[in-house]
Structure 1
Amino acid sequence: MTKLFETWCVHDNSERGLKRYLKLTEKKGGRAAVLDHLGETVRSHYERLDRIADDVSQLGFQGAAAILKEVLPTTPRAQSGDLGEILASELTEELLEFEVPVRRMRFKDGREVPMRGDDFIGVNFCADDDGLWLLKGEAKSRGTLNRTTITEAREALQRHEGRCTPMSLLFVANRLLESDNPDEVALGRLIRNEVGRKALAKNRIDHALFTLSGNGPVQALAEDFEAAERGRGHAVINLHVEDYADFIESIFMQAADLGDG
């Protein structure tokens, strides 16, 4: 399967010890190459693709699209916030070697309402040392990214002694425990154990600050990278899209379009 960010973007990557600063800009023709992929990816965060296929089978493309449109956000603010979290989750899986096991958008209680808690949680499990590794992530999507937004995100990452919030972890764990997949159930149990024991060392809880912005990576983001605390892994990421508002609108139009068969 085509890797989204590899096909879409030019990567400028800097690493210093456990810290990584990743700046992404669109390749010439990159967006066109991944537009269908982007639309399907966004769609999949709100509904399982097999369920959409069942809707098409039962109701046809028009009926299935009508259901999908009921869960996709319609306001620019909601679309912006959701897309930041969605792209952060996809980048985490493609480039940061963590899985994001739960698609949070499927559980929203209002399509224009942001979900509370950590924006995204990544999980890595190494069976060799029975080791759970977590990624606590904050995603910010702004037409104009500024220092205040970056500071707010870093403060959120530092809360709870840098650990994922208990409610966010329990949300992920409980969704996994509802699965028919025994591996997912086992992972859900491990995550619940972590909530109860708080046993993970600091160096097994990485932090990621993902930004989607209409302006390029501002100096405050580089300063945040430099100042990030020692003792844990950090990823500081900016995805720069010049036509920010038009881009977001076009992606949600693509997500809503199921075609006509």
Structure 2
Amino acid sequence: MKLFEEWCDSTKEEDERKRYWLYTESPGGRAKVSGHLAVTVRSHYDRLERIAEDVARLGFPAAAEILQSALPQTPKSRSGDLGEILATELVEEEIGLRVPVRRLRYKDGRSMAMRGDDFIGAGYLGEHLWLLKGEAKSNAVLGKSTVTSARKVLDRDSGRCTPDSLLFVANRLLESTDAADNALGRDLRDEVGVKALSSDRIDHMLFTVSGNGPHASLRADLGAAGVDRDHYVVNLHIDDHQAFIAKVFKEVGDLGNN
């Protein structure tokens, strides 16, 4: 199932290398994807097959306890995590790049924010490596200050993925038993060292989830962006932002009993 296709209606504007995408929940869309969304969010904290092994060994209550130990507990940390998760899913569904590492599996603590770029998309167009540097923001009320701060993060390091973030992804791929993962990891690790990619092959995405819909600062931010790379500015409007997040994480932590 394609999450956003089943869940949302969208409008998409494109001007040269600038893309402005707005998503709103379609009638009945939330109910249609609720189960899929819970499983998707769960998979960002642990491998689904590992959770299944816990169930087989220990039963549902103990397996749920293990999962809960990885899930954030505060509204703020849940909101931040869900923004990153939904951004990751959108990149892979709509753009076609991989976000090859589910970085929330590597958090130091379940309510601690991770440092570095929120998400990195990677892949190849022809023989050429292509990257996407992303910032995700999730707010009940989105405002200009949040958009401005996110753009500053995207622009730092001359618009390149931060070396520590890129190296983290590269090293996780190099630990894989998959040859394609290893090849991509090697290319990403090389990029940390030689910085060979030109800016036109490092795209940017500002992904926002908000209860108040697309703030005017989003369009202004996109208008001020340069044309040396593809820019994606995205808003997912969730009216009951806080209640929605609480319900999602309740469903994520509920493994059932059969």
- TM tier relative to shorter chain: over 0.9
1:155 lines up with 2:155 in the alignment: no
Indicate the SS of the match to 1:164.
Answer: coil
Q: Which position in structure 2 is the counterpart of 1:44?
A: 43
Q: Which position in structure 2 is the counterpart of 1:198?
A: 195
Partner letter of residue 207 of structure 1? H
Q: Which position in structure 2 is the counterpart of 1:62?
A: 61
Indicate the SS of the match to 2:212.
Answer: coil
Q: Which position in structure 1 is the counterpart of 2:167?
A: 170
Structure 1 residue runs of 5 or longer lacking an equivalent are none
Alpha-carbon distance in structure 1 between the residues aligned to 2:224 and 2:16: 13
Indicate the SS of the match to 1:132.
Answer: strand
CA shift for structure 1 position 108:
0.2
CA shift for structure 1 position 31:
0.4
Matches within 5 A, 1:74-93: 74-93=73-92
Alpha-carbon distance in structure 1 between the residues aligned to 2:29 and 2:236: 13
Q: 2:177 aligns with which of 171, 177, 180?
A: 180
CA shift for structure 1 position 18:
1.0
TM-score, with normalisation over the residues of structure 1? 0.98
Instruction: Note the alpha carbon deviations across 1:103-162, whole angstroms, 9 max, x for none.
Output: 010000100000000000000213x4x210000000001000000000000010000000
- State the identity %: 57
Q: 1:132 aligns with which of 103, 121, 129?
A: 129
Partner letter of residue 250 of structure 1? K
Q: Which position in structure 2 is the counterpart of 1:215?
A: 212
4+ long deviations beyond 2 Å: none
Alpha-carbon distance in structure 2 between the residues aligned to 1:234 and 1:179: 31
Alpha-carbon distance in structure 2 between the residues aligned to 1:249 and 1:174: 33
Q: Which position in structure 1 is the counterpart of 2:29?
A: 30
CA shift for structure 1 position 227:
1.1
Q: Which position in structure 2 is the counterpart of 1:94?
A: 93
CA shift for structure 1 position 182:
1.1
CA shift for structure 1 position 230:
1.3
1:105 lines up with 2:109 in the alignment: no
Structure 2 residue runs of 5 or longer lacking an equivalent are none
RMSD of Structure 2 on Structure 1 (CA): 0.6
CA shift for structure 1 position 186:
1.0
Alpha-carbon distance in structure 2 between the residues aligned to 1:33 and 1:230: 38
Structure 2 contact 16–227 (Cα < 8 Å) conserved: no
TM-score, with normalisation over the residues of structure 2? 0.99
Q: Which position in structure 2 is the counterpart of 1:230?
A: 227
Number of matched residues?
A: 258
Alpha-carbon distance in structure 1 between the residues aligned to 2:7 and 2:255: 22
Alpha-carbon distance in structure 2 between the residues aligned to 1:83 and 1:123: 21
